[in-house]
Amino acid sequence: MRLPVPLAAEIAAARAAARLSRLAGTGGGTTVPGKLLWKLDPSAVDRLAARLPLGSALISATNGKTTTAAMAAAILERRVRLAHNRAGANLVSGVASALLDARNAQLGLFEVDEAALPEVAMRLRPRAICLGNLFRDQLDRYGELEHVAERWRTAVTALDDRAALVVNGDDPQVGELARAHSNAVVFGIDDPRQGRSSLQHAADSKYCVRCGTPYEYLTAYVGHLGDYRCPACGHARPALTVRATEIELHGLDAVAFTLALPDGDQRIRLAVPGLYNVYNALAAASLAHALGASAGEIVTGLTRFDAAFGRFERIAVGDRRLLMLLIKNPAGANEAVRTIVDGAAPRVAVIALNDAIADGRDVSWIWDVDFEPLIPGLQMLVATGDRAAELALRFKYGGLDAAAIDVVPDLKAALDRGLELTQADGELVLLPTYTAMLALRKIVAERGFVRPYWERAA
């Protein structure tokens, strides 16, 4: 197909910018070309997306969207050629870059920032949207999560009737959106053995979306996600179309569950841990199913899936290993702590707290994290990052002996200190916030242990 000259010229200019950005080593050139295209002509994004023969699917959530998108890609990529923003570049400019990169793609599969979702949906007119959860996150950037929920509702209302809406029914605000669209798929966990009957204190959305009364939880699985019911007006979790049952947690290595699809049950074993990854897999499976993937393709894709960049990874460093889990808000950090303690509580941990914009400038969220399960087993905590001192204070208040806390603000020195405290063949647990994770990866990469991330992003 011959493109109108302006769009072709814009694409060429943006691709040239991508090459320059890669040469300059500024982070893989993941969003520079998209930003340029966006500046030249915002509607170019709409036209690029309209060229995808199978349309686009969008994935958004506060927690797990990168992993969900990677899981959905693992399922779908054997059937269709995807345009996929793998490196977490999830604003309009990142989507534009992925569209520029994907010359022969058939289907766009995009992870989208919660606040950017309405605009991306308006421009791409997707054939499916998958909404995972809304947790309180980086409030200084977005404001109240009710505001984001309201904007999601507007995006859902504007969806084409034929488009599929896939939502997590276990999240009250997200599940409620299923009632605003005729073609909705609702997923959730249905295994009370794995839950609690009350909410952890970090739970975010515990008041009825209709009348404001606190929900009663028959079961809470991760934060406020679970089987809820309002005792006043009866608002409750919607009926589930796709469910996870018979869950078996295998520590830090894996989780198995039965995926109950409308057309039958499949046993799944994921090579990543935790109930939150069951949610990610449910979201990916439900979306892929709505896009026409077979049960066999879903099983194969999820079974082959490996952790997405940065969210959970093991890196060999000489004769020791690093186990790195991103922490970025109370709910995600609670799950990281729970996952680690379910494996074997570590004796040494390096926790890195930065306060750059991407981490959230306000670090008071660490006081809402339930770090206490780590404390009994911990012989030494290395507190690091820009706000190492506040993190150390948090653990002191949690009951960790001051002598067991080493405050080392410099990340490189903290990593060395942690490795020195780890025995040969042992594993060092690292819990960094976002920019600390990027910096730690860079330090480790400079020592030749992992490649810079963009080399892995297709």
- Residues in contact with Zn ion by CB under 5 A are 208, 210-211, 213, 230, 232-233, 235
Q: Which lies closer to Zn ion via its Cβ, residue 24 or residue 233?
A: 233
* Minimum gap (Å) between residue 215 Cβ and Zn ion: 8
Q: Which lies closer to Zn ion via its Cβ, residue 125 or residue 206?
A: 206
Q: Where are the alpha helices (DSSP H) in 127-274?
A: 139-142, 145-157, 172-175
Instruction: Return left, alpha or beta for 27; rule: phi > 0 is left, psi -120 to 50 is alpha, else beta.
Output: left
Residue 181: both structure tokens together? 């669209």
Residues near 150 by beta carbon (within 8 Å), at least 6 away in sequence: none
Contact (CB, 8 A) for 159 and 182: no
Q: Which lies closer to Zn ion via its Cβ, residue 213 or residue 300?
A: 213
* Minimum gap (Å) between residue 235 Cβ and Zn ion: 5
Q: Which lies closer to Zn ion via its Cβ, residue 216 or residue 368?
A: 216
Cα 129 from Cα 377, distance rounded (Å):
42
* Minimum gap (Å) between residue 175 Cβ and Zn ion: 14
Cα 213 from Cα 210, distance rounded (Å):
8
Q: Which lies closer to Zn ion via its Cβ, residue 238 or residue 385?
A: 238
* Minimum gap (Å) between residue 213 Cβ and Zn ion: 5
Q: Which lies closer to Zn ion via its Cβ, residue 122 or residue 232?
A: 232
Q: Which lies closer to Zn ion via its Cβ, residue 187 or residue 228?
A: 228
Burial (CB count <10 Å: 0-12, 13-18, 19+), residue 259? buried
Q: Which lies closer to Zn ion via its Cβ, residue 207 or residue 454?
A: 207
* Minimum gap (Å) between residue 377 Cβ and Zn ion: 41
Listed residue (117, 174, 139, 175) closest to 329, CA to CA: 139
Mark 127-157 as b/e (b = at least 16 C-beta within 10 Å).
Answer: bbbbbbbbbbbbeeebeebeebbebbbebbe
DSSP per-residue letters across 348-387? EEEEE---SGGG-S--GGGGGS--GGGGGG-SEEEEESTT
What's at 389, amino acid-wise? A
Q: Name the helix (H) or strand (E) containing 11.
A: helix 5-23
* Minimum gap (Å) between residue 229 Cβ and Zn ion: 9
* Minimum gap (Å) between residue 231 Cβ and Zn ion: 8
Residue 121: both structure tokens together? 């949906």
Q: Which lies closer to Zn ion via its Cβ, residue 216 or residue 370?
A: 216
Residue 236: both structure tokens together? 């409750």
∠ CA 268-270-273, nearest 5°, is 135
* Minimum gap (Å) between residue 205 Cβ and Zn ion: 13
What's at 442, amino acid-wise? K
Q: Name the helix (H) or strand (E) containing 14.
A: helix 5-23
Cα 207 from Cα 107, distance rounded (Å):
38
Contact (CB, 8 A) for 435 and 360: no
**Where are the strands (E) in 252-371, listed by range?**
254-261, 264-270, 312-317, 320-325, 348-352
* Minimum gap (Å) between residue 199 Cβ and Zn ion: 16
* Minimum gap (Å) between residue 195 Cβ and Zn ion: 21
* Minimum gap (Å) between residue 222 Cβ and Zn ion: 22
Q: Name the helix (H) or strand (E) containing 56.
A: strand 56-60
Q: Which lies closer to Zn ion via its Cβ, residue 236 or residue 421?
A: 236
Q: Which lies closer to Zn ion via its Cβ, residue 29 or residue 175?
A: 175
